[in-house]
């Protein structure tokens, strides 16, 4: 899960609670990010997506 720490639409605690409720969920809280995904965080998010999807890939 990806969530901005400054999200005005969905409170960050909701993201934390959702991640805690999902088996093996990973939560990426991004400082100074609201409800959008600005280009400055794309590399960090892409790295996380690649990491998670490589774990799910068949051997």
Structural contact between residues 4 and 33, judged by C-beta atoms closer than 8 angstroms? yes
**Structure pTM?**
0.79
Contact 19, 52 (CB under 8 A): no
CA-nearest of 58, 51, 25 to 3 is: 25
Share of the chain above pLDDT 70, in %: 93
Q: Residues 16-42: pLDDT tens digits?
A: 999 999 998 999 999 999 999 999 999
Residue located via tokens 């909701």: 14
Band (59; pLDDT cuts 50, 70, 90): low
| Domain limits, the chain | 2-56
Q: What is the mean pLDDT of the chain?
A: 92
Look at residue 28 and give its three-state secondary structure: strand
Judged against a pLDDT cut of 70, whether residue 57 lies above it is answered with no
Confidence (pLDDT) at 55: 76
């Amino acid at each position: 899960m990806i969530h901005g720490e400054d999200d005005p639409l969905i409170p960050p605690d909701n993201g934390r609670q959702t991640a805690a409720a999902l088996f093996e969920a990973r939560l990426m809280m991004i400082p100074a990010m609201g409800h959008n995904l600005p280009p400055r965080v794309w590399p960090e998010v892409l790295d996380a997506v690649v990491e998670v999807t490589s774990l799910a890939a068949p051997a």
